Structure 1
Amino acid sequence: MKKFIIFLLALAPFFVSAQQKELSKEAYIERVKNNPDSINSLVDLRRVGGYTPEYAELNPLFKTLSPQVRKSKEGKEFRSYLKTLNSVSVGKKAKYFSQKDTAGNTVALKDFKGRYVLLDFWASWCPDCRVQSPELVKTYAEFKGPNFEIIGISFDKDRGSWIKAIHTDQLYWTQLSDLKRWQNEVGTLYGVKSIPQNVLISPEGIIVARNIHGEELNTLLRKLVKK
C-alpha cells in the first residue's frame, strides 16, 4: 500500500504539508548539509524523516547544523522531538499510558500485558487511514485473541465523527481518544507527527516494529503470535 503523509501544520515551522511538492530524500539531505546556518534546514530535516522518521538517521544530520540553529527556539523543539523518537525506537520499552474508550472508560496499555499489541494511530478525517481500514480489519480477524489486540488511538476532535468512522469501517477493537486532535497525549508520547502510523509492542512491553502495514504486518504477526 502506498504510504501517504498527513503532517501537523501548526506548532512549529518544521511540520510541513504533504501537499507541497516533495524533492527526493537525498536532495533534502544535501540541502541540510549545504545550509547548516539556515533555520529552514530544520524544515528540510523534517522532510528527510518523512512518514517514518528514524532517530538514527535524523540525529546525526541535526548535529551538522550550526550551534545558532540548534539553540534556536525551533532547534530546541526539534531536539525535543528527536529525544522522543529515540525513546520509542524499536527495542525500547513501550511507554505506558491510559486514555478513555468510546464508552468513557479508562483503558491502560498495562491492561494488555502478555499480548502483542498494535497501537494504530488514525483519525476519521484522515483519508489514508480510512483506505487502510479494510486491511487492518482482515489482520484483526486473523490474529485477534488472547495473544493479540489492536488499540486504536484516534486524532479526532469530534466525538460523533470518531464513533461514526469506527462503525462505518467496522474497526471493532479497542478504540481510544482524548479528542485533542494533533495534541493527543498518546500521540505526543510516541512522537507521532503524521498518520496513519502504528507501533507493535511485544508481550514483554518492548517495541518490536513501527509503521508496517498490510501483508508485511501479517507476515510478522504469523511468526510472532501464537493462536
Structure 2
Amino acid sequence: MNMKSLLTLLLLLPFAAFAQKKMTVNGKMTNLPDNTPVWLADINNPNDTIAKAKSLKGSFVLKGELAEPKLLILSVGGDKKSNVFFDNSTIAIKGDYTKPASWSITGSTVQDGFKAFETTFVPYFEQLNKIGMRMQAGERSDSLQLSANRLTGAIQQEIDAFIQKRPGSPVSAFILLATINLNPDINQLEQRVNRLQPMAMNNMYGSYLKQTIEEGKTTAIGSIARDFTQNDTLDNPVTLSSFRGKYVLIDFWASWCRPCRLENPNVVQAYNRFRDKNFTVLGVSLDRQKKSWVDAIHADNLTWTHVSDLKQWDNAVAKMYKVQSIPQNLLIGPDGKIVAKDLRGEDLNKKLCELLGCN
C-alpha cells in the first residue's frame, strides 16, 4: 500500500468507526397481502411509532434508530402483533403472516435473549397467574400456596441462571425489573444488578433498577429505620427513636381508606395480644382532616400512638418511606432495624409469635 492510500485509509477510519449504526428490519412473509401496513412502536407508548412501511410482494423493510435496546410491538396489519426486543441491528423476519407465533426473527442477540426469556419465564408466569385467579376467587389451601411458592422459587433460580449466561444483555436488566414483585429482598436484587455489565444497565431498565434499589434501601429488611418526628392528635411531637428498645409496627393508614379500616381489627387484635410483650403500634395517618382522623381512631378502637401532618399523600413520613399505597406497615425491632414489612391479617400474628412467643 502506498503512502497516499494509507493516509486516505487513516482519514476514513474515524468516520467508519464512529458512524451511528441504525436498525434495519427485513421482513419476508407468506400470505402477506400487498400494501399491508407494518410498524414498530414502543410497548410503553404504542402511539410512539419508531418505524413504518407497507408490504409489497410479501416483503417489507423497516428502518429506524433506537437510542437504546428496548421492548417494542411489531404490528403487521394491525391485527397480527408480536413483542420484540430490538437494537440497532440488521434483523430478518420470516414466517406466515397469519401466524405470529411462527415468525422467525434473527440477526439480533438482544432479540435472541428476549426469545429465551419468553421460552423460559412465560410458562411460569402463566401458571402463577392461574393460581392467583383461583386465590382471588376465594380458594385457599396449603397445596395451592405450596404450588405458588414452588413456582416462585423456580423463577428465582432461572433468573440467576439467565443473568449468569447473559451478564451483558439488556434483557437481563429487563428480567430483573419484570420479576421484581416476586422477591421483596432488595439486597438480593442489588447483588444481581452488580453482576451485570455496564452494557446491560445503560438503558431505561437499568435506570429503573438503580432507582428501585436506592428507594428500596429505605425499607429494606435489616436496614435501620429512618428516624422521624411528627405530631400526635394533641399536637405533641412524637419521634420514632423514642420507641427504641421495643418492637414497633409503623402502620400507614387513613380514615378514608376502606382497606385500611377493614384491616384495623387485625391490628387491634395483634396489639392487644402482644402489647405486654414489648410490642406497640405507631399509626401514621395520610388524612387531611383532623376530625375524620380522630373520629376513625375512636371508632376503630385504635388505642396506640398516632401521628400525622394532615397532608394526605404528601405526608412527610409516607414520602420518606416511599409509601405509594395503603394499608402498609413496617415492623421495627428493638435495635431500630426493619424486621418485616407488609404484614397483614394472620401474617402479623405469625411474625409476632415467632419473635415474641405465643405462650
TM over 0.5: yes
User: Between Structure 1 and Structure 2, how many residues are aligned?
Assistant: 194
Identify which of 169, 193, 207 aligns with 2:300: 169
Secondary structure at the aligned position of 1:200 is classed as: strand
User: In structure 1, what is the equivalent of residue 217 of structure 2?
Assistant: 86
Q: Separation in 2 of the partners of 1:168 and 1:47? A: 40
Question: Kindly tell me: are residues 117 and 80 of structure 1, through their superposed partners in 2, closer, same or farther at Cα, counting changes over 3 Å?
Answer: same
Task: Tell me if the contact between 1:123 and 1:154 (Cα under 8 Å) persists in the aligned partners.
Answer: yes
Aligned-pair identity (%): 39
Question: Kindly tell me: are residues 103 and 46 of structure 1, through their superposed partners in 2, closer, same or farther at Cα, counting changes over 3 Å?
Answer: farther
User: In structure 1, what is the equivalent of residue 334 of structure 2?
Assistant: 203
Task: Tell me if the contact between 1:116 and 1:225 (Cα under 8 Å) persists in the aligned partners.
Answer: no
Question: Kindly tell me: are residues 134 and 56 of structure 1, through their superposed partners in 2, closer, same or farther at Cα, counting changes over 3 Å?
Answer: same
Secondary structure at the aligned position of 2:250 is classed as: strand
How far is the alpha carbon of 1:219 from its aligned partner? 2.0
Q: Separation in 2 of the partners of 1:131 and 1:118? A: 17
How far is the alpha carbon of 1:98 from its aligned partner? 0.8
Identify which of 252, 256, 262 aligns with 1:121: 252
Identify which of 181, 191, 204 aligns with 1:69: 204
User: In structure 1, what is the equivalent of residue 284 of structure 2?
Assistant: 153
What value does the CA root-mean-square deviation take over the aligned residues? 3.7
How far is the alpha carbon of 1:206 from its aligned partner? 1.0
Q: Identify unmatched segments of 5+ residues in structure 2.
A: 1-43, 45-123, 130-154, 156-169
Q: Separation in 2 of the partners of 1:55 and 1:166? A: 33
Question: Kindly tell me: are residues 213 and 86 of structure 1, through their superposed partners in 2, closer, same or farther at Cα, counting changes over 3 Å?
Answer: same
Task: Tell me if the contact between 2:185 and 2:221 (Cα under 8 Å) persists in the aligned partners.
Answer: no
The answer to whether residue 311 in structure 2 is matched with residue 180 in structure 1 is yes
Which string of whole-angstrom CA distances, capped at 9 and with x for unpartnered residues, describes residues 102-121 of structure 1? 10000001111110000001
User: In structure 2, what is the equivalent of residue 112 of structure 1?
Assistant: 243
User: In structure 2, what is the equivalent of residue 103 of structure 1?
Assistant: 234
Secondary structure at the aligned position of 1:199 is classed as: strand
Which string of whole-angstrom CA distances, capped at 9 and with x for unpartnered residues, describes residues 29-66 of structure 1? 9xxxxxx79xxx9xxx599549x9653577668x8987
**Bigger RCO (CA 8 Å, 6+ sep):** 1
Q: Separation in 2 of the partners of 1:46 and 1:190? A: 22
Task: Tell me if the contact between 1:81 and 1:191 (Cα under 8 Å) persists in the aligned partners.
Answer: no
User: In structure 2, what is the equivalent of residue 221 of structure 1?
Assistant: 352
Which string of whole-angstrom CA distances, capped at 9 and with x for unpartnered residues, describes residues 158-190 of structure 1? 112111111111111111111111121111221
Larger radius of gyration: 2
Tell me the TM-score normalised to structure 2 length: 0.46
Secondary structure at the aligned position of 2:217 is classed as: helix
User: In structure 2, what is the equivalent of residue 6 of structure 1?
Assistant: none
Task: Give the number of the structure whose residues are more often strand, by fraction.
Answer: 2
